[in-house]
Structure formats: C-alpha cells, structure tokens
Structure 1
Amino acid sequence: MSVSVLSPVSVDVTLQSLLKPKDGSAPAKGAACNSRLADGPWVFDEMPAGYGPGASENDVIPADTPHQGVLPQEYRTASTEELDLRIRAAKAALGERVVLMGHFYQRDEVIQYADFVGDSFQLAQAAKTRPEAEAIVFCGVHFMAETADMLSGKEQAVILPNLAAGCSMADMADLDSVVECWEQLEDIYGTGPNAEGKVPVIPVTYMNSSAALKGFCGEHGGIVCTSSNAAKVLEWAFERAERVLFFPDQHLGRNTAKKMGVPLAQMPTWNPYKPLGGNTAERLQDAKVLLWHGFCSVHKRFSVGQIEQARREFPGVRVIVHPECPMEVVDAADESGSTDYIVKAIAAAPAGTTFAIGTEVNLVTRLAGQYPQHHIFCLDPVICPCSTMYRIHPGYLAWVLEALEKGVVLNQIKVSEDVAVPARVALERMLALKPAAAAR
C-alpha cells in the first residue's frame, strides 16, 4: 500500500473530486473511510443514531448528545460562491460585535473566515482578548464552546454553528460514570491523607471533556490538562496524591506517564462498564495512574505499519504524531506533541524536510499548503476527517451570522454557574502552572 500524499488543496475539495467525479466516473475506491463524506452534513442532522461519517462513525453516541435541527433550505442549496458572499457580508455588517474562532481541525472552507485559528485552549484564551464582541462563534466542537463560555464575559454569547459538532472521546466519560468510579475508588483507598499528607487519588481531566467533568475535578481537588502540559499537570498531581485518575483519553495519559517513568503495570485501564473498572482491588492498590477507557478515533487510526511504510518510501522522513495516538505508534515515531507543537516544528524546520504527520487530515493538508518548501503528508493513506468537526460547514456559519445581524442568537452554548464555578477552579489550577500550555 502506497502512502497517500494529498495535494495542498482542501480536504473537502479532494473528497468531492474523489467521491463525486465530475466526469461521471466511479468514485475512487478506498480513498476515504466513508463515501458519504462528500455529502452536506445537514443530511446527517436528521439521523441522530451516530456522529456521522468520518473517524468517529462507529463510536457509540450517548442518548443525550445534542442534535442539530434542520438547517433552512436556503443554506443547504446555496452555492459555495453565494455562501461566501453572505458570510463576508454578515461579518462586515457585524464588525467587532462578533469574533470567529476556528480550530486547527476545521475544514478550510470555514477556517478562511476565522479571526483566530488554533487549538481548543488557545481559542478559548483568544476569546478573552475580545471583550467587546457580543458573540463568539466557535467553529470547533461542543466542549470547546463550553470552555469558551466559561472563560468569556458574562454578557457574551458563545455560538456553535452546528449543535451536532460534539466529540466522541469527550462523550466516552460522563459525569455519572466518573462519580460511580470515584465512589468505588474511595471504598478501596479511603479518603484520608497518608503520612506525607498526600490524598489517595486525585482526578485529572483532559481539556477534551465536558464542563461537568471539569467541574467534578474542581470539586475534588483536581485539575485540567492539555496535550502539551500533561506531564507538568501529572507532576502537580503526584505532589498532592498517591495516584491519579486520568480521563477521558487513555492514550494521552499512558504516553505521558510512561515518559515520566511510571511502569505500565501501574497504569490499569478503567472500563466503566465493568466492576472495579475490570480490575482487582489488589491491582488498583498498586496503581499510580488509572486510565479511563476512552480514545480519539482520529488518532486511533494511525499505526506502526503506516510509519514503517513512510520510512520505506521516504528515507529520512521526520515522523511526528499526536500523543492521543496509541503507545506503540508514539514509540515508533520520531516525536510526539500537541497540534501546536506540530505546527511549530514544521515552521522551524529547514527547507526540504519531509514530514509524515499523525493527526487530523485537515490540519496536515493545510500545513502542506502553507509550507511548500517541505514535503508534508498524513500517515493515514485513507482520508478520514474528524466526524464532528466535519459537521461545521459554511452553510451553518452563514445561518448563525445572518441571524445575529437580525439580533437573533442561535445555538448558544451556556454552562450553568453551578457547573462553571468549580470547572473554572480546575482550569485556574492549570493556568497557574508555568509555562501556560496549548491544547489539542
């Protein structure tokens, strides 16, 4: 199997040309993980059974996951050119009343309108720099919009253009399951500190989690981490506790703790559907890091075989993967790091460097276009974008912006104060660590 090297055009344009050829020929087989990726995402708004086509299409979606209502027909049938004119006109009319945030994994057709582009935490922080904006339109996923709401001004409205833009990883850990886990751990460990003053266990949640779980951490002495400050956060936690309960992404937790010298034998996985998470009480007593059974379906697609293929085809290739990838993939790569790390590594590299990147394909393809002096390609030869980022489309963006022009706020994401207050505590504990870090 040959490594697929995408041209520096958008992923959406590539998918359209491969899956819906204008010459009437058959779609390219095996080019994408789902042939329906070429359809407008509104097709899937009336199908509440899943996340939609893309990397998370086979993940189980919780029953209470938000679903998007029907997008008005005028936005579904509008041409690319018409949507572009309408979005730009609405932005111009709104001026400083609105600020647009675009996540690295978002499609180029949306990113082009963003006032800020970055990872989840960078964007939440960026929103704080625009207190004059009445509305923050967050072109990302649900947990990111929640964080932006908690860190922005009380009078600012945070808008998610498509409510179906969630995160299957974040959904793999819910508050009820974490509370049940915590109660079982308290039964085993107790709650009192040891002779050194350390509590038995402390919760750490990845930024890619609900506001409710951030609030749980705030209430239980815990903290939030990002993909670039996870090691510093674990150090902070070990200064205060004998063990860490890390959720929802097992891979970030395992890869980080392993680099810190924690043996794999002391990192059991907690499966919320099994008694004691599928462990014995003895194994839990010996644990240092308890890893929630969660994962990112985008990063789970990368494999050691893909890295080996890239090295065969491109001797001297520099392989960088995201720490949400499985441990064996991180071990086989040259480097691992957050999206911000990947972007900065490529920007700083000498001209002519060949990069094989293990993260979401929209970012990889965009970087290939931004840095033509390098040879940059995605490790995964199959085009399979993040299912939920894919749900944001210019049609939804035009819809919410034109409504704002009329004084109507659509798809507002609002975190209740009873959740936001403890969640901010966990976030502020992270912010107090230096240097300030970037997220996924």
Structure 2
Amino acid sequence: MSSVNATIQLITRAEAESAPASAGTCSTELAAGPWEYDAAEAAAGAPAYGPGASSEDVAPAATPRQAQIPAEYKQASDEELHERIVAAKRTLGDRAVILGHFYQRDEVIQHADFVGDSFQLANAALTRPDAEAIVFCGVHFMAETADILSTDEQAVILPNLAAGCSMADMADIDSVQECWEQLEEIYGTEPDAEGRVPVIPVTYMNSSAALKAFCGEHGGIVCTSSNAATVLEWAFERGQRVLFFPDQHLGRNTAKAMGVPLENMPLWNPRKDLGGNSEQTLEDARVILWQGFCSVHKRFTVAQIEQARIDHPGVTVIVHPECPMEVVDAADSAGSTDHIRKAVAAAAEPTTFAIGTEINMVNRLAAEYPQHTIFCLDPVICPCSTMYRIHPAYLAWVLEELVEGRVVNRIVVDQDVQVGARVALDRMLAARP
C-alpha cells in the first residue's frame, strides 16, 4: 500500500495533468516540502499551521516558526534522505533515540526506534537514559513533555519547530488563569463537608507545559485519551467539579460515559465573560468544558458512518474520543490510538474496519493487517497539518548536525514550569485505568 505522502503526490500529479484521480485530498499544497510553508510564513510575517486538517485554525502570534534548512536537504531525493538518515543513525548509535508518533508519515516512522502515542513515547524515552539526544518526531507539546520527564543531560529535539498543535494552542495560560479567577469568584476556595475543593483543573496531554504546570500548582492532573475516565474519577474524589481543557470532545465523551448529564457540562468560551454562561449554570456544573477541539477528529461525521454501514454491511466502526459526541455515539467503539491499534490486532477473523482517526495511522494499520479491510471514515486524504511538517529532510538535518556535535531545534522547558508540570504528570502516571 502506498504511503499517504506518495498518494498525495499521485493525486496532485493527476490534477495537474487533468487525469482522473482515485481519491482526493483536502489540499494539494501537502505535496510541497514543508520548507515552502516555512518560507511563506516568514514572508507573511505570521505563523500558520500549514495545509491539512488545521489549515483553517488561527495560529497564535507566539507560535514557533522554523527557519530554512540548508538547500542540500530540500533538494535531496527521497532515496538520498533515507540513506543519509540511516548512515547518521548508524554513526550516532545509542547516543540518539528517535521517537515517532502514530500520526507521522511513513517515510519518518520507518526510522523511529519507538512508535506510539505521546504518552507512550514519553515513557519510551525514559528507557533510554543514556541517550544524549531524544529526537521527537511529533509536535511541540510532546517534545516539552519528553524534556520534563528526561534527565537534564539529555537534549530533546523537534525536527521542525513549526510542528505545533492547534488544539493545544486553543487554551493558553493567560486565558486559563483568567477563567480560574472567575470561577473562584463564584465558587470560593473552601472545601465542602467531604473535603472536596470547589473545582479541580484537568488538562489533556495535548497542552502546553505551562498548562500542565498550572494543574500541578492547583491540585490538578494531566490525562491521556487512555486514562481520561480514571483521571476524572480521581478528580471527582477531590473536587466538586472539573475544569477540563483544551479538548471539549474528549471531556464530554468521557464524562457522558460516566453518567454526567449533558446539562451539567457547560462549554467555556474564553472570549466571553464567565465563558458565556450564567452563574447558576456554573454552580450546577460537574464538568466545565473548554472550547477547544482537534481539527483532524472534527472532520469525522455521522453521515460518514452511515455511508460506511451502507457500503460495508457488518463493518466495525472505531473512532477516537476526540471526535464529536454524535460520532462517538454512532460508532461501535471509541478509544485512544492504542485502543484502536489493539482492537484491530485482536480481531481473529477477517474484519472490515472503518476508523475515525488520523489518516497516516489508518493507512499503516491497513498495510500491517492485510487480512482485514481497513479504511478511514473520511474519504478525503487530510493529514494532521502539524505532524506533516516533520519531513525526512528535517530528520536528516538534525541527525547530521548531531553527528557533527551540534544540537539544533532543542526544546527546553523552564525549570520553574517543569516543577509544577512534573507534579501533574506524576499524578497522571499514578492514575492507571
């Protein structure tokens, strides 16, 4: 099976030649090298997420940007880049470890020492304490988490600094602190008769180190899509309510499955006073949901599930809990990327799976399990914009710089932020499903 990148190249070529294409992509600009997006943003004087699922999301002014990499990497063929990465890895040996997120393009994943979700990869890095460099082929918040959990002597490297996360950017520290102050004015700070404080902050792993530190400093915790229910149980034991950010869908889907009524889960719009709610609504709240979302998982719809069931009778539909509630309700099951992977691996008989998560992972599962029929619910090929900015050219560049004794694109979290963030992460590590 062709990689997502190869398929996009074919689609783009077919469109240029006015030839029929077997599939479509949300943006033919995905066929270009990410350095072209870097140059366009530099010329515009403003950051952006690039083509793909997050192309319509607005990047904050402080979003990191990537400077141009040397021309030799941009001009190298796929084969040459592959050979240079292999050679650099061989030279570096155990001095460097490469982590590849499930959503990365195949051309990068093939070089990863570990493949997994953000939490799994952060833990994988802990198994290599002697590695001088941790090259994280993911997005910015993942590299931050790796820096927090790794030793001070290890350098965490993000091959392309522009690989951020639009969902993570939807909740910034200033907006969350302002929200917290407004909630304290309504709830006060005194615990109830059972010792539960008025509200506990819970941040999804897909958030900045600053927000993880905020949770650590305010009695809160970090969650993943794998342990969100366990974390909410932890929070409800300690608090009367939960402030959940930045992804509203993971929070809503998890709390709903635990029996929390929808009317007790108001949405907080950071651009409005009291998040756009009345004081009574917030008094009655059990979970206050931040107005954030994942642009990849927002693309999945109930109509796509209905079409999959028409086209493939008996299909098993599995979606990620970052999908809207209606999509999760219409699916056969919902769970983290690891849940999806394990569900496919556990199928003893040939099965047809329609999967609602990032296309690179779905495509890879289809190649890995050819006995099954596996396809993405969204018929349009539209990868995660920011993950797609990690290209083999950037990986070759950072590795060859390491061979020469130079560390580029290092991600460093301030020590004062690390302290609070580590508290929240340690609480998460202890909250096992």
* Structure-1-length-normalised TM-score: 0.96
Distance 1:255 1:324 in 2: 8
**Which residue identity is paired with 2:5?**
D
Distance 1:107 1:20 in 2: 19
Q: Which residue of 2 aligns with 1:416?
A: 414
What secondary structure, in the 3-state scheme, does the structure 2 residue paired with 1:95 have?
helix
Q: Which residue of 1 aligns with 2:72?
A: 74
Are positions 1:43 and 2:36 aligned together? Answer: yes
**Which residue identity is paired with 1:223?**
I
Bigger CA drift: 30-39 or 190-199?
Answer: 30-39
Identity rate, percent: 73
Residue 212 (structure 1) shift: 0.2
What secondary structure, in the 3-state scheme, does the structure 2 residue paired with 1:20 have?
helix
1:372 equivalent among 360, 370, 373: 370
Residue 146 (structure 1) shift: 0.3
Q: Which residue of 2 aligns with 1:109?
A: 107
Distance 1:9 1:363 in 2: 13
Structure 2 gap ranges (5+): none
Distance 2:270 2:377 in 1: 32
Q: Does the aligned pair in 1 maintain the 2:47–2:65 contact within 8 Å?
A: no
Q: Does the aligned pair in 2 maintain the 1:61–1:168 contact within 8 Å?
A: yes
Q: Which residue of 2 aligns with 1:135?
A: 133
Q: Does the aligned pair in 1 maintain the 2:265–2:286 contact within 8 Å?
A: yes
Q: Which residue of 2 aligns with 1:124?
A: 122
Q: Which residue of 2 aligns with 1:11?
A: 4
Q: Which residue of 2 aligns with 1:20?
A: 13
**Which residue identity is paired with 1:34?**
S
Q: Which residue of 1 aligns with 2:225?
A: 227
Distance 2:178 2:21 in 1: 47
**Which residue identity is paired with 2:225?**
S
**Which residue identity is paired with 1:15?**
I
Distance 2:372 2:230 in 1: 32
Distance 2:308 2:297 in 1: 17
Residue 28 (structure 1) shift: 4.0
**Which residue identity is paired with 2:241?**
R
Q: Which residue of 2 aligns with 1:146?
A: 144
Structure 1 gap ranges (5+): 1-7, 436-440
Residue 26 (structure 1) shift: 4.5
Residue 195 (structure 1) shift: 1.1
The C-alpha deviation readout for 1:342-380, integer Å capped at 9, x for no partner, is 000000002310000000000000000000000000000
Q: Which residue of 1 aligns with 2:301?
A: 303
Residue 432 (structure 1) shift: 1.2
Q: Which residue of 1 aligns with 2:24?
A: 31
Distance 1:405 1:181, change over 3 A: same
**Which residue identity is paired with 1:9?**
S
Distance 2:206 2:17 in 1: 41
**Which residue identity is paired with 1:228?**
S
Q: Does the aligned pair in 1 maintain the 2:47–2:64 contact within 8 Å?
A: no
Distance 1:109 1:146, change over 3 A: same
Q: Which residue of 2 aligns with 1:286?
A: 284
Q: Does the aligned pair in 2 maintain the 1:169–1:208 contact within 8 Å?
A: yes
Are positions 1:360 and 2:334 aligned together? Answer: no
What secondary structure, in the 3-state scheme, does the structure 1 residue paired with 2:380 have?
coil
The C-alpha deviation readout for 1:104-157, integer Å capped at 9, x for no partner, is 000000000000000000000000000111000000000000000111111000
Within 5 Å, which residues of 2 pair with 1:96-245? 96-245=94-243
Distance 1:136 1:291 in 2: 34
Distance 2:375 2:344 in 1: 12
Distance 2:36 2:172 in 1: 28
RMSD: 1.2
**Which residue identity is paired with 1:224?**
V
What secondary structure, in the 3-state scheme, does the structure 2 residue paired with 1:403 have?
helix
Q: Which residue of 1 aligns with 2:50?
A: 52
Q: Which residue of 2 aligns with 1:3?
A: none
Distance 2:89 2:230 in 1: 40
Q: Does the aligned pair in 2 maintain the 1:19–1:27 contact within 8 Å?
A: no
Aligned residues: 428
What secondary structure, in the 3-state scheme, does the structure 2 residue paired with 1:81 have?
helix
Distance 1:213 1:434 in 2: 21
Q: Which residue of 2 aligns with 1:270?
A: 268
Distance 2:93 2:13 in 1: 37
Distance 2:148 2:19 in 1: 48
Distance 1:74 1:85 in 2: 14
* Structure-2-length-normalised TM-score: 0.97
Q: Which residue of 2 aligns with 1:5?
A: none
Q: Does the aligned pair in 1 maintain the 2:245–2:290 contact within 8 Å?
A: yes
What secondary structure, in the 3-state scheme, does the structure 2 residue paired with 1:297 have?
coil
**Which residue identity is paired with 1:386?**
C
Q: Does the aligned pair in 1 maintain the 2:157–2:410 contact within 8 Å?
A: yes
**Which residue identity is paired with 2:162?**
A
Distance 2:88 2:22 in 1: 39
Residue 34 (structure 1) shift: 0.8
What secondary structure, in the 3-state scheme, does the structure 2 residue paired with 1:242 have?
coil
Distance 2:85 2:15 in 1: 27
Distance 2:327 2:291 in 1: 18
Q: Does the aligned pair in 2 maintain the 1:20–1:38 contact within 8 Å?
A: no
**Which residue identity is paired with 2:376?**
C
